[in-house]
Structure 1
Amino acid sequence: MAKARQKKSKANLRDRVLQERIQPGLGRLGYVAKKSIDLDVTIPDTDLEEPVLAVARLNGAPRIVCDLLPTIPSDSSFDTEAYIRAQVIYEIRNCYSGKTPSHAWITDGEVDFFFDYQKQEQVSFLPKAAEAIRELDRAKQEELVQKSRLARQQEAFYEALRQLREEFHSTGRIDDANAKLDEIAKLLVMKVHEEKRRLNNEEYRFSVDYLSKTAKLKWKDESKIAEALRWLFEDIISDSYYKNADGTSIFGSNGSLNIQPTDDAFARKVVELLNKTEILHFGTDEDGKQRELHFDVLNETFGHFVRDNFRNNKEDAQYMTPPEAVNAMVDLAFCDIENDPVDRERILGASQKNPYLIVDPTCGTGTFLVAALRRANRFLDEHVSEVRRRNHLKRIFKDHCVRGQDKVDRMVRLSKMNMIMFGDGSSNITQGNSILPELTPGEQLESLIGKVDLIVTNPPFGAEFLVGDLVPDLENPRYPLIYDYFLRDVHEALLAIEAELESHESNPPKTTASVTEKRKWEKRQQRLRKAIERAHKKIETAKGKKANSEIILIDRCLQVLRPGGRLVMVVPDSILTNTRFEEFTRSWLKRRAILKAVVSFPTVTFSQAGTLTKTSALYIQKQTLGNTLTQDKVFMAVCNDIGYEVKTVGGFPKRIKKGSNELLRIIDGYRETRREAK
């Protein structure tokens, strides 16, 4: 009875505070009831026992979260009240779904406490809605200026690459396109390394001026730019930062610059061209210093220099994935990850021994790995307020959580360079055949079976593999999907016949049996042995058939994922059609995974890389051990405009900005459907 009265009293207090204090207060600040004020809002995945009193919003984003201070016993101290108040404030800050609010308003009905999340301190008043709108407008303007500046820098980088390509071609330096890519990658690493030195107030050495001074000091001739550039490269890569775990160079066996000591004019031109653009992002890291690359420079470089070399070899095909598609695919997964209690707990509790694993089994130049690391860092920025812990988790992610693998040695080197330019993580990128692991003993997927949290990838399409190579051991099939479709029926038939023969031969006719009985027994034995021969032939025939790499990779990724893990993968639209194998694949997947979303890309998406293949992003979640996941409505979307077109300029396909990137709205739409589903 007493508890009922206490509950009623608390409810009355909530209503009184809402009607007499919160709503009038928000009204005076300029927030309109019903239009921009939500009452009794439940914040998912928090320890708050009840819904917060109110949330004031602007443009759909939370600005002020208002809540009632939990009842404190009369004998409690002020410290206890302060502790509980702080607990409420940070529970909202760390666990609020979506964008973090700007302020918290905590009251006991008599005394108000205002907290500014940006300043991380108590304030004496809350900003009016009009001021908040002006602040948002300023932030939006700054963002537009930033984007404009970044766009100019990106265009400058494209122009530098174009001129570098022409310079390599006109001078005849380094004929092989792959060797050119290696050389440009080394030069880009040098430039980023020196830009980071400059941000640490150290001398910037990747300049003609510095190289001339070095040449004069070392060789008494300031024109020896090429010699000085080679010396600078050797000095940079001597750092352990650029070493593999076994002490070898990440740049491979040919770890020196290919620019010859006499190529002074060429070296000067290369340095001048690369210095026409700033590669590092204008944002800041935890030290307040600029660090992050603002776009995937190696992916773009790959597209400029070697796309033709891989186009005719489907098995080794490396179609660069544009950042618009990469970011959309990563964001698609994080829409769910950031609101999933299991994922959140694993991310916020990640450690060297228990990492939250993000993997790309066909990583190419590392584009998806870089994007995933960026997105994980953003998640940590949004959900971990304590600086030391946030920075510790970021280091854990860089060093232990993001892993990549590729069968092509050059791609592994480029991916390592990409991760180093972004901010490390290179030690977790290995060379390995993700489909036929026995061909590369050092491959890492075998050790990750059932452990990976998220896979984002764009595998090669159309490469075909013999079923016999994929499933050499019928008793322990490496690829369950391939085995089930091509081999299970004939294998089980063989086992049944062998069991029947074994049973038959274990019961031979007695010596006293008639001649007729003995002949009957022998005929059945011969019939079973011939049936076994036919079954073996059928198995060999099945092993001689071929399966496409994209379906093989889906099979492989599903094994590598932990129960509840997620896969976002670029697939050709042909996999979604109703051919017999694809239909079987979809049916097979339904029993083992939940289909979350399919987002169709326009044909122009990969045209800069030389293909007009119609593709989609397939997003699935592996079923849990207890089959606790249920199939909701599948989110389906078609992107008709990705924000650019590709035209041939000077014999080279160039991305030209046109239209708007619909993927941004599609991801917002997916996020909204998931919010409504809850």
Structure 2
Amino acid sequence: MAKPEKAAARREDILAAAKTTLEESLKYDGVEEVVIEGETCAVARRRGRPVVLIFVPEEQGPIAPATQELAIQLGAIVEGGPADYVWATATGKLGDGFIYSWLPDKECQVSSIPAASELGRNSSAGARARPVADPVRFKELQHEFDQLHEQVYASREPIDGSNDLTAQLCKCIFLKMHLERHPDFRPVARGPLFEEIFHPNYIRKNGEKAVEQIKKAFEVARALPEYCLKDDQGRDFRIFDPDDFIKFQKPETYARIAEMLGGHQLTTPEETGVEDDIIGRAFDVMLRAKFESKGGMGIYLTPQQVRDAMVQMVFHDILNEDSGLVTRRNAKSGKTQFRVCDPCCGSAGFLITAMREVRKQIDKLLGLSARQRLELLSEVFAQGFEGADSSPNMVLMGRINMALHGDPKARVFRVANSLSTDIFTPESFDLILTNPPFKKGGITDKDHAKLLESFRSDISNGTPAMKGSGLALGAKPDGKGVWKPVNSVDPAILFIDRCLQLLKPGGRLLIVVPDGVLCNSQDRYVREYLMGKKNERTGKFIGGKAVVRAVVSLPAVTFRLSGAGAKTSFLYLQKKRPGDEQGPVFMAVANNVGFDVKQNKEVLTGENDLIKIVEAYKAGPTSGAQRPTG
């Protein structure tokens, strides 16, 4: 039997096993096979509506991110859908694979499919808005991005590894987006239109001349006023350095890029009938798959599993406590006022994960046309999402990533140091999601005296004044409780203080920190600065700058590729408002996050404890919460 035939037979066997699992183990009736956009799936229905859709991928082993996205889209467009649950499995066994719920109160990855008897009476009743999805287009896009990356990588262009290749590709995507907004763009006055130049036939015919014309186009476009961002103070920040250029040199490289990008509308994809962030989803999956971590250099993408958990927990709270916050407008200016920030954004992973949550909420708004929802979404993105990073390539990738998710002029700034930059206004953000860089040995007064001095602005008469816009953790209390300057401090401690400064009262911070900050006795003053001091008689915390909502311990493997040996957790804080009091803290331990590291590479395992942890958090306080170990 030929290999394709064996693979097809294997998928058929697994699909049959999954159908049996649903029918015998979970007691679903009449699971039937269906073909959706060329993919053979199985569907369990209830009252005619799809409850569970099963998809068996081509690859064996744990379900890869690209396959997860494909399965989600298949579940969205199944007849009568979206399906309540989507199950992508490579074994057909209960408890294996990737499970996603399209139920309106979820729309996220979940840990299990409920038994038929556990379904609520109305779990499949009533019409639901049908998400716009195109699994065929997504699969094609993913293949095109992967193939393009591999072809360019194999062409021996003068680039410094996979990350640099992606950065150069981003510059070409930038040019394509500029062309779509300005079809009359001419790199040289009275010269040919860029639309004529950036075409595979022209490039192959004109060779080196075409390469020079494309490089000239980038040189001209990057300097245009529209690619100059303004920070919160109204100052100008250019997206590109004045001497930045595209490194690719071979005509065939540009021809292949033009060929791939020419088949897609990047700036207004909704006009072509494609889900308006499907291109962004495909690009993001490619970026995560091709990104090379630079051990010890602080350049590392926060794993999607961690990003998803942090974003889902905080949006659960935001929407439960103030469902109108995401779209609320300022009464005077009329502008949307929900603001999200990542001061160490890298490729903008946290920002785009939060953007997807905002998209879900706006898509559910009643009384708005599709065009009105799109305009509102664009407005929230443009006014409400900001990031910064010190690496020019990461800033570029972050901006392109956000642009492909619906924010064409993403406010991502290049800064020397996110701890000291003044591009962000104190007390102006509702949500900060971040994974700041770690530094062995900490930040010392010898090397960063001015920086540490700025982190003592709130110290008055030997104690923190606890002003919302103040900073105090450049100092610590001595044996008598008098706060004095520190000689060195873990940057994670400073980032906690800095992020709280940037949050509005009631604003939320989710930050990855070394476990030592949470457990070490010498850092107790930090915990007391955040939570206040506990009154042993009443059990209440007195003082403090924030309410600690949750602590989730992560396994050591989570950031092993980055060269960070310290064990980490993510910490969820809410900046105090008058009357806020510290309550019980949700605490959990994740032993698995969906991957392992072998021979300095990530290897998917499919075991992700964060899914159940998020579900437990959403379910509310329980007596079985676990305490993270150091």
Q: CA deviation at 1:162?
A: 4.5
Where do 1:135-154 residues align within 5 Å? Answer: 146=135, 150=138, 154=142
Match of residue 463 from structure 2: none
Structure 2 unaligned regions, length at least 5 = 1-45, 49-81, 86-102, 108-119, 184-193, 460-469, 533-544, 624-630
2:428 to 451, 473, 481: 451
Q: What CA distance in whole angstroms lies between the structure 1 residues aligned with 2:414 and 2:222? A: 21
Aligned to 1:339, the other structure's residue is in SS state helix
Tell me, yes or no, if structure 1 residue 616 matches structure 2 residue 616. Answer: no
Amino acid at match of 1:291: D
Tell me, yes or no, if structure 1 residue 165 matches structure 2 residue 136. Answer: no
Amino acid at match of 1:594: V
Where do 1:73-84 residues align within 5 Å? Answer: none
Tell me, yes or no, if structure 1 residue 226 matches structure 2 residue 211. Answer: yes
Q: What CA distance in whole angstroms lies between the structure 1 residues aligned with 2:212 and 2:243? A: 17
Q: CA deviation at 1:297?
A: 3.6
Match of residue 424 from structure 1: 407
Aligned to 1:598, the other structure's residue is in SS state strand
Q: CA deviation at 1:226?
A: 3.0
Tell me, yes or no, if structure 1 residue 571 matches structure 2 residue 513. Answer: yes
Tell me, yes or no, if structure 1 residue 370 matches structure 2 residue 347. Answer: no
Q: 1:60 to 1:422 in 2, by over 3 A?
A: closer
Where do 1:246-645 residues align within 5 Å? Answer: 250-260=239-249, 263-268=250-255, 285=270, 288-292=273-277, 293-295=279-281, 297=283, 301=287, 304=290, 307-308=293-294, 311-313=295-297, 317-341=298-322, 344-345=324-325, 347-349=327-329, 355-387=337-369, 390-424=373-407, 426=409, 428-433=411-416, 436-437=419-420, 440=421, 443-445=422-424, 448-462=425-439, 464-467=442-445, 468-472=449-453, 476-477=458-459, 479-485=471-477, 489-490=481-482, 542-543=485-486, 545-581=487-523, 583-591=524-532, 592-611=545-564, 613-624=566-577, 626-631=578-583, 633-645=584-596
Q: What CA distance in whole angstroms lies between the structure 2 residues aligned with 1:425 and 1:642? A: 32
Match of residue 525 from structure 1: none
Q: CA deviation at 1:267?
A: 3.8
Aligned to 1:617, the other structure's residue is in SS state strand
Q: CA deviation at 1:360?
A: 0.9
Q: Residues 293 and 562 of structure 2 are in contact (CA less than 8 Å); yes or no, is this contact kept in structure 1?
A: yes
Q: 1:419 to 1:185 in 2, by over 3 A?
A: same
Q: Residues 373 and 397 of structure 1 are in contact (CA less than 8 Å); yes or no, is this contact kept in structure 2?
A: no
Aligned to 2:324, the other structure's residue is in SS state helix
Q: 1:423 to 1:656 in 2, by over 3 A?
A: same
Aligned to 1:312, the other structure's residue is in SS state coil
Cα deviations by residue, 1:342-374 (Å, 9 ceiling, x for unpaired): x63463335665621111111122221222222
Q: Residues 550 and 585 of structure 2 are in contact (CA less than 8 Å); yes or no, is this contact kept in structure 1?
A: yes
Q: What CA distance in whole angstroms lies between the structure 2 residues aligned with 1:206 and 1:665? A: 50
Q: Residues 389 and 413 of structure 2 are in contact (CA less than 8 Å); yes or no, is this contact kept in structure 1?
A: yes
Q: Residues 473 and 497 of structure 2 are in contact (CA less than 8 Å); yes or no, is this contact kept in structure 1?
A: yes
Cα deviations by residue, 1:386-435 (Å, 9 ceiling, x for unpaired): 23653443233122111112234443333223322322264532233555
Tell me, yes or no, if structure 1 residue 213 matches structure 2 residue 194. Answer: no
Q: 1:355 to 1:475 in 2, by over 3 A?
A: closer
Q: What CA distance in whole angstroms lies between the structure 1 residues aligned with 2:262 and 2:404? A: 18
Q: 1:428 to 1:331 in 2, by over 3 A?
A: same
Aligned to 2:380, the other structure's residue is in SS state helix
Q: CA deviation at 1:160?
A: 4.3
Cα deviations by residue, 1:139-185 (Å, 9 ceiling, x for unpaired): 89x98x94x985785476456434533433xx5x2458875453232
More helix by share: 1
Where do 1:125-204 residues align within 5 Å? Answer: 132=124, 146=135, 150=138, 154=142, 157-158=145-146, 160-168=148-156, 171=157, 173-175=158-160, 180-190=165-175
Q: CA deviation at 1:552?
A: 0.8
Q: 1:454 to 1:239 in 2, by over 3 A?
A: same
Q: Residues 30 and 130 of structure 1 are in contact (CA less than 8 Å); yes or no, is this contact kept in structure 2?
A: no
Match of residue 532 from structure 1: none
Q: CA deviation at 1:215?
A: 6.3
Q: What CA distance in whole angstroms lies between the structure 2 residues aligned with 1:354 and 1:427? A: 16
Q: 1:391 to 1:562 in 2, by over 3 A?
A: same
What is the number of equivalent residue pairs in this alignment? 471
Amino acid at match of 2:397: L
Q: What CA distance in whole angstroms lies between the structure 1 residues aligned with 2:335 and 2:478? A: 39
Identity over the aligned pairs, expressed in percent?
26
Q: What CA distance in whole angstroms lies between the structure 2 residues aligned with 1:608 and 1:185? A: 24
Q: What CA distance in whole angstroms lies between the structure 2 residues aligned with 1:150 and 1:369? A: 21
Aligned to 1:338, the other structure's residue is in SS state helix
Aligned to 1:599, the other structure's residue is in SS state strand
Cα deviations by residue, 1:208-234 (Å, 9 ceiling, x for unpaired): 993323665xxxx47855346446656
Q: What CA distance in whole angstroms lies between the structure 2 residues aligned with 1:415 and 1:253? A: 19
Q: What CA distance in whole angstroms lies between the structure 2 residues aligned with 1:322 and 1:456? A: 13
Match of residue 616 from structure 2: 669
Q: CA deviation at 1:611?
A: 4.6
Q: 1:155 to 1:551 in 2, by over 3 A?
A: farther
Structure 1 unaligned regions, length at least 5 = 1-28, 32-57, 62-95, 101-127, 199-204, 492-538
Q: CA deviation at 1:594?
A: 1.7
Q: 1:552 to 1:303 in 2, by over 3 A?
A: farther
Q: Residues 330 and 371 of structure 1 are in contact (CA less than 8 Å); yes or no, is this contact kept in structure 2?
A: yes
Amino acid at match of 2:321: D
Q: What CA distance in whole angstroms lies between the structure 2 residues aligned with 1:664 and 1:239? A: 45
Q: 1:132 to 1:353 in 2, by over 3 A?
A: closer
Q: Residues 641 and 662 of structure 1 are in contact (CA less than 8 Å); yes or no, is this contact kept in structure 2?
A: yes
Match of residue 6 from structure 1: none
Q: Residues 252 and 413 of structure 1 are in contact (CA less than 8 Å); yes or no, is this contact kept in structure 2?
A: no
Q: 1:675 to 1:436 in 2, by over 3 A?
A: closer
Cα deviations by residue, 1:261-295 (Å, 9 ceiling, x for unpaired): xx3344446667x67998979x9759954331343
Amino acid at match of 2:242: S
Q: What CA distance in whole angstroms lies between the structure 2 residues aligned with 1:303 and 1:358? A: 26
Amino acid at match of 2:377: K
Q: 1:207 to 1:616 in 2, by over 3 A?
A: farther
Q: TM-score, normalised by structure 2?
A: 0.61
Q: 1:615 to 1:299 in 2, by over 3 A?
A: farther
Q: CA deviation at 1:618?
A: 1.2
Match of residue 40 from structure 2: none
